[in-house]
Each structure stands twice: as C-alpha cells, then as structure tokens.
C-alpha cells in the first residue's frame, strides 16, 4: 500500500524499479504430471527472475515442442512456444536485435538432440547470450514413450520394445566438442538448490549457457535416475571458485566432491567422458571471452532513419544511369 | 512471329578480305595498320530495336561483356532487358553445347519488358556454344553470327574440322556467318585472350551499334574499380575497347543506330535480385536470414555488400528452417525480418511459415522460383511454386501471396510486403523467378520515402485488458504486443489458441480463430483495385498471367490485336487474396485462358486434365471454365511462342475446353 502511494505521489519513486514477487512470474497452472521434474525447474527459474528482479516484460522464454516446452505457458513473461526442434534459431532471431531482453530457452532431449540437433551445434558456435535449459528425461514423453537420442541402449520403449539398439548420444560431450563452446553445466531436478544456483550462474554468463537438467519422468523413465536420486554418492559435485556457487551446508550433502577448473576444456572433456556410474553436477566449462555472434548482429541497431535513407539512396545511385 | 517494326539486320563485313587479314598478320599493331587498307563505315541505318547475344565457354567473360553492353544501352537512353545464359556448372567442358555462357541483350527505343524472340545478332566465341543457342531456339534464318575464327587454325585436326563443318552447316541453316579474328586481334594487346577478348567484342559491338565509347569506358573503369583492380588493368581494357571499336569501324560497311526512348527522368538499371535487396533496404527491413540457394542467393550478395550501411545484416543460417525461424524470432521481437529462398527452400520452410500464420507474426518471404520438383532446374525459370505458396501447410493457413511482374515491382513489392505483413499481422510471400532475378532492365529511380522505413519498436505500455489477439470481428485485424512492452506479456503458441493466446481445449475456439485469420484476407481484398485490362475490356479471348511473363504476354496480345483479333490480357499481382472483380471481367470475354511457365496437361489429354496453377486457382475461385497454355522449357516464354499458342486456340485447331466441360457437366 505504501509502495503504491509512493509511486503515485513521487516521480522519482515511479521511475524506481518495482519489487517483483514470485507471483509476478507465475503464469498458467502447470499441467505437467505430478512428480515430473519440470515443476522444480519452473520454480527455480521463477525464483531466479525474482531474485534478479528481471522485469517480466523484458523477459522472454522460448521453447520448442515436448513436455518441457510447455514451460513458457507457466511463466508470466513473454513466451514463444514454437515448433519441434526450432527453439534455438527462434531465440537467436529474438536476441539478434534485442540485446536488452533476458532470454531463456527450454528444450528437451528430443527437441535439442534429435530433430533440432543441427541448430544445437550451430547455436553453441554462435554463442549468442541466452540460457539454454535442456531437460533430459531420456524419453519422448508427450508422444508416449518413444526412444530418444539419450535413451540408454537396451531401455525398452514403444518404438524399441526389445530395448534401444543404439548407445545414447552424450549431450555434454557433444556440446563440449563444438567450436566456440562457452558454458556447459549439468544439474539434477531433485536438488532444487543446485538447480537454482546453476541457473543463476548461467544467467550471468555473457554468452550461450548450456545447462543439461537431468529430469525425471515419473510415467516412463521413473527408474532411470532412481539410483542417483536415492544414493547421493552417485553424484559428483564439481567445485571451483568460478563454478556453480553452492552453500557449504548444501555441498555437504554431496559425499562425492571434486575440484574441477572450468576453464580447462581438456579436463572438462575428460570429466564428461568418464565411463562410470557417477554423474558430475556443476560447471564443466566456461569461457566468458568466447566470440559472440550477437556482437555482430547488433551492429547498426541505432542507425537513425535519415542515415538509413541516405544509405539506400547511396546504394541506388550505384545503379543510376 | 516477326517482331513488329524491327529491321532485319544484314551485316556486311569487308574482312576477312585477304588484304586486310594478311595485313593484320604481318603488319604492325593498332589502328594505323588498318587505316591504310580499309574504309570507314559507309552507311547508318536506324532500327527501333535489336536483340543480341554474346556467348562463350564459361570463364571467357561473355557475361561481363553482355551486362556491360546492356548497361551501356540503358545509359544511352534505350529500353533494355537482359537475360543471363547460364550453364548448370561453374566450369563445364569447353566447346560444348551445354556449356554456353553469356547474356542476351534486347534494347530499343521503347521500354523493354521481356527477352523477345530470336536474336538479330549473336557473337559466339566458338561454334559449339552456338549450337546450344540454336537448340534453345534463339536464332532464326537471317540471324547474323559473328564467330571467332581462331578454330580454323587450331593445332588439333578434329577441332579444325568441327569448326569448318560447323561454319558450313550454319550457313546452310540460313544464318549470316561472319568469321572475325577476335582472338588474334585481342592477342595484339594482351597475352591471354581469355582476359580481354570480351572487351574487344564490346568495342566491336559499339562500332556496329554506334555506341558512345566514352560511356563504355566509364563503366569499365567502374567494374574494375569495384573488383579492386588498378589503373593498369583499366587502361588495358580501355585499349581493348578502342581496338575492337577501330576494327569494327573499318570492317563493317554499315552500322545501326537504335535511338533512345523519348522521355526519361532518372533511371536505375539492375536485376530483380538487386531490386529485391534494394527494396528490402528501402522498406526498412534490417535483417535477411537466408541459406544459399540458386537463383535466390545473389540478392543476399547485394544485401551483404550494402546492408550494414543502413544498419542491417544478412544472417546466413545453418539451414533453410533455421533461416526462417531466425527471421520469425526477430519479427516476434519487433524487427520485421525477411527470408529469401527458392522452391526447395520453400518446402523446408513450410512448417515455420504455418507457425507464422497461426501465431500472426509478420514476416516477408521471397521465393525466387526455379524449375522443380526436387532439385529440378536450379538455374532456370519456372512458375511452379504458386500452389505451394498458397496452400503448402497442414490445415488452413491463409497468408498474403504477391507476384512481381517486372523488375521495378521486385523493388516496390518489398516495401508493400513489409507494410502488409505488419498491418495484417501475417507472413507475406513475394514471388519472383530466375528470369526476373537475373534479367536487367532500366526503371525510374524510386522516389524513396522515410515513412517506408519501419518505426522504432513500440515499447510503450500495453493497454490494460486488451488481449494479444484482440481480433476485430469484421476484419480479423488485431494489434500486436512486442516483448519489452509492459503489461503485454503473452505466450505465443503454435497450438490452437483463443484471443488471450491460451491453448484452445474447446472445439469452437479453433473454428472462431481460423475464421478471424481468414477474414484478414477478405479485408485486404476489399482494399485492392480490380486488375487493369490490357486491350479492350471485352472480346473473344482474355489471357490471364502472373509474374515475370507479363511483358511477353502483353507483346503477344499486341501482335494479335494488330492482326485484328479481339484479345486482351490481365496480369495478377495478388494471388492471395485474389484481386477483386475477376468474375465481372471474365464475363465480358467469350473465353478465358491463362499463360504460365509451369506444367499442365494439353486440352486433349486423356483422363482428368491437370491444369496450370493459376488456371486451377481461377477455376476454383470463379467457377469459370478457364483454359490454360503452359510450358516448362527452363527459359522465359518468348512472345512469339505465346502468340502462336493463342492463334491455335483462336483458330480452334485444339478442342474448345469450354464445350468439353459443359458436356461433362451434363
């Protein structure tokens, strides 16, 4: 009440940033299944927006198609729920001329690593500033349990009832292999503190921050992350001063911790290639100095209209006879 | 058909007269050597139009020469239309029929709207590429052929024989063949004739057509400056122009003057892809997202070279889908963007264009059509994408489809397209084709308008209570919130949705939303004018066309009308929505038929006849029994071919489709 009065009476206060609460970021009621890991990430992103006080009108969430891609509907920001596999190029277009917006992308393992795989590779290379949350539940959920590119070999689905024939693609290794990669992190939906800390770290990265969220699907792949969820020893917490900042009290809940320098790409790749049952969580790699394509696409953004008109006339003059 | 009012060209050459030729072989260099042995040009004839071609193997510079000669004609005040003659490969085998590379230039004393019929004169660097042009129907008996004579002395007997046999055969076919020592003369000035013979030929043609050599020289300086060459290269090319000109002055006994058009203000000369690029900049579009595809790509070359000066950029995406997605993302965020492609790219972009329709995101899509289906004829013209542009989407996806019928429309339609895209909150497809894309013509210097440029992105607060799709009941139009606008937050979705962009779970919402999107086309149609009839507004036959065929169709109609036939034509720029008033116009003619550059079954084909694409559309929209004549030669339709087809229809040598259809209806 006081706040409203202050805004009404004092110009200075009217210009001051308003205080946004969680409700300011909460859109439609989520229609994901009970127990779905997506709920936790939604809550984490809403908290991030609140903590960073992102104006909802300057925040855009772009998604593709799949269970997780319903995400923008549940935010009270601008959203773009587009086509299967195409979230990344749409987000690149948004970013190209709008450096002022806070941009988040939601994509799934099918959306990103299968139908949109070409865009995935190039988005990493473009390195335009955005947070990309890749929800990996290792199955096609919305279309009712088909093998995804990250489904483990032997896992039974409706398209491979005798078990998936191929070994899964590794999204972390693949992303770390792309030229100009600048930020790769991994988190798990069942540790909300770590999810929130990872997203915050990603949000502040000046480039494309790729975050793989290991995400439970209670309907179809409830067993896939069950062991890791039950036994914290199956997770390996990556620690570094420049990594995902974790409260020491929370860090203690991870029996397995290791120091990992996220500026060391070779070390990141070795870590990602570990062939054991332990899942690293935290920041694999970061390079804030990587070249950014959005630095190219914003050139000339402030060109005044008369200068544009003069430029067109100058070009036309080349063709004059 | 004999083009009306065009003088037949008889080019008499004094050389190779033995004396002059020997003198060249053994005498000194340059102009002085000729002066003693030959006379200057004796007579000048005035003609009101000419069609010339310059053809060579790829890489010998015939394209540069042709474009230069075309620009020169425009600068001298002629109406001009050029057509690129393009082989499918970058460097096909030399001396091959399929390898012909060059340019046709049609120029005259009135505006030129198409490539015309057979050439009056062809300059050929070898006889084999000439056969490629003969197969394409580009020559007629009487066409003058200026042929490089170097092959007569080629070290390989097979080549010498092929040349000799060729010259004999060409003469037997009725062409006026003149052997010209192009390479020999060029080698007097340069060591490698591949870098210079084209300029010598332009000099030669300047003598024959009484062109201003100083204007040519200024153009040549411009070309080589743009290619970052120094003054030595420019001087050498000027010397080649002089040498060709001097040789021509003394070798030709007559020359031809093509007077300029009567009135003209400032003009520009460019091809359709350059016009699209310039139009995009004039329209205030700041972003062209594309993926390389022939014949659309060169528009992005022009943009890439100039866009940054107007604050824009070309995004070369990883694929066609990414290109259109990128453009849609930018448009959604307030910067209406364009994407440009050809048929195969349209196929790939289809799902995304459907999304733009469903979510009402403004977008400009340019489709530079080529032969299809599949990879088809990558460098050749066709009008095969019309129905694809109109209907290729799952479900009902109404959008605006326009077709440029000339190169100046390639420019101006970009301005119209961006404006319509934003006003009607819809994708707009601008159709051009390979003929417009690579043909050059002169058109009035556009009067630019600052209002064409897009306004700054609106970031003012969105009015409270107004949903993101506040569809007007009558027009389906609605204002659009843009990210950054306080209070306008909504989630754009490709799912069926209501006014608030909420996912539609009730059946009637989908019906209602589709109706609103459809009504936008009705609203646009009501704002359009009926097409203007070329010729009388009633008669025996009405020809309907769209796209790049306008000039050729109207020329054919004029020829028939000159013979007393009651034929008229209309040309459609808007295909979706269709221009209004068509049933009324159709009713004033006994018969209606389309002429198109796409496939259709002939009228007497067995089974259910498959119609040309515009005919299909008009039949469905007007219930008039519209006939069609269409071809897919991979080249523009010459006016003479169209006129012949119309005569056949009028003389009734083919079945009257209207009567057939009426019988079928009973």
Residues with Cβ within 8 Å of A101's Cβ and at least 6 positions away in sequence, in order, are A58, A59, A60, A94, A95, B333, B483, B484
* In contact, A289 and B428? CB cutoff 8 Å: no
User: What would the pLDDT profile of B441-488 be if each residue is shown by its tens digit?
Assistant: 999 999 999 999 978 899 999 999 999 999 999 999 999 999 999 999
DSSP-derived letter for residue B101 is E
- Residue written as tokens 């009651």? B566
Q: In which residue ranges of chain B is CATH 3.40.50.970 found? A: 268-452
Residues of B in contact with A28 (CB under 8 A): 502
Q: Would you state the pLDDT for residue B455? A: 81
Residues of A in contact with B486 (CB under 8 A): 55, 57
Chain B residue whose CA is closest to A54: B484
CATH class of B268-452: alpha beta
The whole-angstrom distance between A315's CA and the closest CA on chain B is 7
- pLDDT bucket at B654, cuts 50 / 70 / 90: low
User: What would the pLDDT profile of A78-128 be if each residue is shown by its tens digit?
Assistant: 999 999 999 999 999 999 999 999 999 999 999 999 999 999 999 999 999
Q: Is residue B495 packed enough to be buried (19+ CB in 10 Å), middle (13-18) or exposed (0-12)?
A: middle
* In contact, B66 and B26? CB cutoff 8 Å: no
Q: Is the pLDDT of residue B31 over 60?
A: no
How many Å apart are CA A86 and CA B329, to the nearest integer?
10
Binary contact (A89, B329; C-beta < 8 A): yes
The whole-angstrom distance between B625's CA and the closest CA on chain A is 41
User: What would the pLDDT profile of A249-289 be if each residue is shown by its tens digit?
Assistant: 889 889 999 999 999 999 999 999 987 789 999 999 999 99
Interchain CB contact of A263 with B (< 8 Å):
no
- pLDDT bucket at B91, cuts 50 / 70 / 90: confident
Closest Cβ opposite residue A320 in set B322, B445, B494 = B445
- Residue A210: inside a domain: yes
What kind and span of H or E run contains B628? strand B627-630
- Residue A274: inside a domain: yes
Superfamily classification of domain B18-257: Pyruvate-ferredoxin oxidoreductase, PFOR, domain III (3.40.920.10)
- Residue A145: inside a domain: yes
The token duo for B339 is 């994407």
- Beta partners for residue A283, in sequence order: A185
- Residue written as tokens 């915050």? A200
Chain A residue whose CA is closest to B489: A78
Chain A residue whose CA is closest to B80: A321
User: What would the pLDDT profile of B413-445 be if each residue is shown by its tens digit?
Assistant: 999 999 999 999 999 999 999 999 999 999 999
Q: Is the pLDDT of residue B25 over 50?
A: no
- C-alpha to C-alpha distances, B46 to B7, B258, B260, B522, nearest whole angstrom: 8, 6, 11, 52
Mean pLDDT of B211-217: 94
CATH of domain B539-665: 3.40.50.920
- pLDDT bucket at B40, cuts 50 / 70 / 90: low
- C-alpha to C-alpha distances, B214 to A203, B220, B238, B354, B449, nearest whole angstrom: 63, 10, 9, 54, 34
How many Å apart are CA B572 and CA B565, to the nearest integer?
22
Q: Would you state the pLDDT for residue B92? A: 85
Binary contact (A98, B309; C-beta < 8 A): no
Closest Cβ opposite residue A81 in set B71, B323, B494 = B494
How many Å apart are CA A85 and CA B658, to the nearest integer?
49
Interchain CB contact of A14 with B (< 8 Å):
no
* In contact, B77 and B269? CB cutoff 8 Å: no
- Beta partners for residue B145, in sequence order: B122, B177
- Beta partners for residue B357, in sequence order: none
- pLDDT bucket at B305, cuts 50 / 70 / 90: very high
Reply yes or no: is the peptide bond before residue B357 cis, omega within 30 of 0. no
- Residue A5: inside a domain: no
Interchain CB contact of A92 with B (< 8 Å):
yes
How many domains is chain A partitioned into structurally? 1
Cβ neighbour number for residue B137 with a 10 Å cutoff: 14
Interchain CB contact of B270 with A (< 8 Å):
yes
Closest Cβ opposite residue A77 in set B308, B352, B489 = B489
How many Å apart are CA B497 and CA B514, to the nearest integer?
10
End-to-end CA, chain B: 40
Query: On the CB side of B267, how many CA atoms lie within 13 Å of its CA?
Result: 23
Q: Among B214, B436, B211, B270, which residue's Cα sits nearest to residue A320?
A: B270
Residues with Cβ within 8 Å of B456's Cβ and at least 6 positions away in sequence, in order, are none
The whole-angstrom distance between A279's CA and the closest CA on chain B is 32
Q: Is the pLDDT of residue B570 over 70?
A: yes
Share the mean pLDDT of chain B: 91
Closest Cβ opposite residue A316 in set B278, B318, B481 = B278
The whole-angstrom distance between B315's CA and the closest CA on chain A is 8
Query: A125: domain range?
Result: 20-318
- pLDDT bucket at B5, cuts 50 / 70 / 90: very low
Interchain CB contact of A98 with B (< 8 Å):
yes
Counts of helices then strands in chain A (DSSP H, E): 13, 9
Binary contact (A319, B282; C-beta < 8 A): no
- Residue A12: inside a domain: no
Q: In which residue ranges of chain B is CATH 3.40.50.920 found? A: 539-665
Binary contact (B489, A89; C-beta < 8 A): no
Binary contact (A90, B74; C-beta < 8 A): no
Q: Would you state the pLDDT for residue A16? A: 53
CATH at A261: 3.40.50.970
Chain A residue whose CA is closest to B352: A83
- Residue A7: inside a domain: no
Q: Among B405, B654, B381, which residue's Cα sits nearest to residue B541?
A: B654
Binary contact (B310, A302; C-beta < 8 A): no
Interchain CB contact of B72 with A (< 8 Å):
no
Q: Is the pLDDT of residue B657 over 70?
A: no
Which positions 341-370 of B are in contact with A (Cβ < 8 Å)?
Answer: 351-352, 355
DSSP output for A205-261: SSSEEEEEEE---TTT-TTTTHHHHH-GGGEEEEE-TTS----HHHHTT-S-EEE--
The token duo for A8 is 């009404």
A vs B, Cβ pairs < 8 A, gives 195
- Residue A2: inside a domain: no
Weakly modelled stretches of chain A, pLDDT under 50: 1-14
Residues with Cβ within 8 Å of A72's Cβ and at least 6 positions away in sequence, in order, are A27, A61, A62, A63, A79, A80, A81, A106, B491, B493
Q: Would you state the pLDDT for residue B261? A: 92
Binary contact (A316, B445; C-beta < 8 A): yes
Interchain CB contact of B454 with A (< 8 Å):
no
Residues of A in contact with B274 (CB under 8 A): 319
Interchain CB contact of A282 with B (< 8 Å):
no
Mean pLDDT of B222-242: 93
Binary contact (A309, B450; C-beta < 8 A): yes
Predicted complex ipTM: 0.95
Bridge-based pairing state of the strands B121-124 and B254-257: unpaired
* In contact, A78 and A59? CB cutoff 8 Å: yes
Q: Among B323, B309, B554, which residue's Cα sits nearest to residue A118?
A: B323
Residues of A in contact with B334 (CB under 8 A): 97-98
Q: Would you state the pLDDT for residue A12? A: 46
A165-172 long-range contacts (CB < 8 A, ≥24 apart) are A168/A138, A169/A113, A170/A272, A170/A273, A171/A109, A171/A112, A171/A113, A171/A134, A171/A136, A171/A212, A172/A212, A172/A272, A172/A284
Residues of B in contact with A97 (CB under 8 A): 286-287, 330, 333-335
Binary contact (B308, A320; C-beta < 8 A): no
Residues with Cβ within 8 Å of A92's Cβ and at least 6 positions away in sequence, in order, are A123, A126, A128, A293, B322, B325, B326, B329
* In contact, B54 and B103? CB cutoff 8 Å: yes
* In contact, A60 and A102? CB cutoff 8 Å: yes
Q: Would you state the pLDDT for residue A276? A: 76
Q: Is residue B607 packed enough to be buried (19+ CB in 10 Å), middle (13-18) or exposed (0-12)?
A: exposed
- Residue A168: inside a domain: yes
Which positions 413-452 of B are in contact with A (Cβ < 8 Å)?
Answer: 442, 445-446, 448, 450
User: What would the pLDDT profile of B598-632 be if each residue is shown by its tens digit?
Assistant: 999 999 899 999 999 999 999 999 999 999 999 99
Closest Cβ opposite residue A93 in set B289, B448, B502 = B289
- pLDDT bucket at B104, cuts 50 / 70 / 90: very high
Mutate to test the interface with A, among B326, B354, B414 (most CBs of A within 10 A): B326
- Residue written as tokens 């209606």? B592
Which positions 498-557 of B are in contact with A (Cβ < 8 Å)?
Answer: 502-503
Phi first, then psi, for residue B90 (nearest 5°) are -65, -45
Q: In which residue ranges of chain B is CATH 3.40.920.10 found? A: 18-257
Q: Would you state the pLDDT for residue B88? A: 73
The whole-angstrom distance between B503's CA and the closest CA on chain A is 9
- pLDDT bucket at B16, cuts 50 / 70 / 90: very low
Q: Where are the beta strands (DSSP E) in A85-158?
A: 102-108, 130-136
Cβ neighbour number for residue B96 with a 10 Å cutoff: 16
Mutate to test the interface with A, among B311, B410, B448, B457 (most CBs of A within 10 A): B311
Residues of B in contact with A66 (CB under 8 A): none
* In contact, A218 and A34? CB cutoff 8 Å: yes
How many Å apart are CA B552 and CA B579, to the nearest integer?
21
Bridge-based pairing state of the strands B363-369 and B400-403: unpaired
How many Å apart are CA A22 and CA A50, to the nearest integer?
6
Binary contact (A319, B269; C-beta < 8 A): yes
Q: Would you state the pLDDT for residue B8? A: 53
Q: Is the pLDDT of residue B368 over 80?
A: yes
Mutate to test the interface with A, among B264, B275, B310, B362 (most CBs of A within 10 A): B310
The whole-angstrom distance between A181's CA and the closest CA on chain B is 17
The whole-angstrom distance between B461's CA and the closest CA on chain A is 10
């Amino acid at each position: 009440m006081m706040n409203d009065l202050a805004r009404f009476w004092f110009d200075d206060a009217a210009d001051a940033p308003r205080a946004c609460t969680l409700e300011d970021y909460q859109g439609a009621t989520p229609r994901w299944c009970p127990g779905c890991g997506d709920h936790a990430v939604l809550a984490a992103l809403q908290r991030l927006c609140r903590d960073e006080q992102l104006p909802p009108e300057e925040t855009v969430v772009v998604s593709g198609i799949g269970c997780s891609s319903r995400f923008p509907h549940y935010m009270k920001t601008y959203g773009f729920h587009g086509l299967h596999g195409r979230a990344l190029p749409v987000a690149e277009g948004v970013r190209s001329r709008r450096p002022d917006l806070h941009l988040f992308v939601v994509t799934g393992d099918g959306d990103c690593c299968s139908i949109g795989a070409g865009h995935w590779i190039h988005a990493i290379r473009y390195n335009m500033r955005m947070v990309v949350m890749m929800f990996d539940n290792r199955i096609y959920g919305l279309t009712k349990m088909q093998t995804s590119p990250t489904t483990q070999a032997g896992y039974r689905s409706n398209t491979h009832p005798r078990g998936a024939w191929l070994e899964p693609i590794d999204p972390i290794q693949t992303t770390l292999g792309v030229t100009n990669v600048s930020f790769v992190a991994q988190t798990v939906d069942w540790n909300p503190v770590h999810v929130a800390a990872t997203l915050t770290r990603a949000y502040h990265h000046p480039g494309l921050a790729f975050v793989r969220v290991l995400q439970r699907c209670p309907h179809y792949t409830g067993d896939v992350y069950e062991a890791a969820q039950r036994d914290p020893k199956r997770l390996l917490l990556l620690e570094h001063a420049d990594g995902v900042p974790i409260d020491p009290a929370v860090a203690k809940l991870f029996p397995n911790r290791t120091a990992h320098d996220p500026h060391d790409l070779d070390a990141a790749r070795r870590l990602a290639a570990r062939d054991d049952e332990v899942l690293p969580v935290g920041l694999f790699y970061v390079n804030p100095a990587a070249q950014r394509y959005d630095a190219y696409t914003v050139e000339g953004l402030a060109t005044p209209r008369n200068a544009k008109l003069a430029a067109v006339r100058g070009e036309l003059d080349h063709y004059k006879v | 058909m004999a083009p009306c009012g065009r003088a037949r060209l008889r080019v008499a050459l004094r050389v190779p007269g033995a004396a002059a030729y020997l003198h060249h072989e053994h005498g000194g260099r340059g102009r002085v050597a000729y002066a003693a042995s030959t006379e200057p040009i004796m007579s000048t004839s005035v003609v009101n139009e000419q069609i010339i071609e310059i053809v060579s193997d790829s890489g010998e510079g015939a394209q540069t020469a042709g474009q230069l000669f075309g620009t020169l004609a425009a600068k001298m005040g002629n109406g001009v239309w050029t057509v690129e003659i393009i082989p499918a490969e970058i460097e096909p085998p030399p001396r091959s029929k399929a390898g012909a590379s060059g340019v046709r230039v049609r120029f005259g004393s009135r505006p030129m709207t198409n490539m015309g019929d057979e050439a009056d004169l062809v300059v050929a660097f070898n006889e084999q590429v000439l056969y490629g042009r003969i197969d394409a129907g580009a020559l007629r008996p009487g066409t003058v052929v200026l042929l490089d004579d170097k092959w007569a002395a080629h070290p390989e007997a097979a080549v010498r024989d092929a040349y000799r046999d060729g010259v004999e055969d060409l003469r037997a076919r009725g062409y006026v063949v003149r052997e010209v020592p192009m390479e020999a003369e060029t080698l007097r000035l340069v060591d490698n004739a591949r870098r210079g013979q084209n300029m010598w030929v332009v000099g030669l043609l300047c003598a024959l057509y009484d062109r201003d050599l100083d204007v040519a020289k200024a153009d040549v300086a411009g070309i080589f400056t743009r290619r970052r060459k120094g003054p030595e290269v420019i001087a050498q090319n000027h010397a080649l122009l002089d040498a060709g000109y001097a040789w021509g002055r003394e070798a030709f006994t007559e020359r031809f003057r093509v007077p300029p058009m009567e009135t003209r203000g400032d003009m520009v000369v460019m091809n359709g892809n350059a016009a699209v690029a310039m139009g995009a900049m004039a329209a205030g579009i700041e972003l062209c997202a594309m993926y390389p595809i022939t014949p659309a790509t060169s528009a992005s070359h022009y943009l890439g070279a100039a866009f940054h000066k107007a604050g824009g950029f070309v995004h070369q995406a990883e694929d066609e889908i990414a290109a259109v997605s990128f453009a849609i993302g930018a448009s959604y965020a307030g910067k209406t963007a364009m994407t440009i492609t050809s048929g195969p790219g349209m196929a790939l972009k289809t799902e995304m264009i459907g999304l733009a329709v469903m979510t009402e995101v403004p977008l400009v899509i340019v489709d530079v059509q080529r032969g299809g289906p599949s990879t088809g004829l990558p460098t050749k013209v066709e009008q095969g994408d019309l129905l694809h542009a109109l209907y290729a989407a799952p479900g009902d996806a109404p959008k605006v489809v326009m077709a440029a019928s000339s190169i100046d429309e390639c420019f101006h339609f970009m301005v119209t397209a961006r404006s319509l895209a934003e006003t009607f909150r819809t994708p707009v497809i601008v159709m051009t084709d390979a003929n417009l894309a690579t043909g050059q013509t002169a058109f009035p210097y556009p009067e630019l308008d600052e209002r064409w440029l897009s306004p700054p992105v609106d970031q003012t607060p969105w009015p409270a209570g107004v949903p993101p799709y506040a569809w007007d009941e009558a027009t389906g139009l609605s204002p659009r919130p843009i990210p950054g606008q306080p209070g306008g937050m909504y989630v754009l979705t490709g799912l069926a949705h209501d006014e608030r962009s909420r996912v539609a779970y009730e059946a009637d919402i989908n019906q209602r939303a589709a109706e609103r999107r459809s009504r936008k086309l009705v609203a646009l149609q009501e704002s359009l004018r009926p097409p203007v009839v070329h010729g009388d507004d009633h008669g025996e036959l009405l020809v309907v066309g769209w796209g790049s065929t306008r000039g050729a169709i109207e020329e054919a109609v004029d020829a028939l009308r000159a013979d007393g036939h009651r034929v008229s034509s209309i040309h459609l720029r808007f295909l979706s929505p269709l221009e209004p008033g068509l049933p009324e116009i159709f009713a004033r003619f006994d018969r209606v038929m389309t002429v198109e550059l796409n496939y259709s079954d002939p009228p007497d084909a067995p089974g259910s006849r498959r119609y040309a694409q515009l005919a299909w559309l008009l039949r469905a929209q007007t219930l008039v029994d519209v006939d069609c004549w269409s071809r897919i030669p991979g080249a523009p339709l010459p006016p003479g071919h169209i006129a012949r087809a119309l005569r056949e229809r009028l003389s009734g040598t083919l079945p009257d489709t209207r009567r057939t259809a009426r019988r079928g209806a009973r």
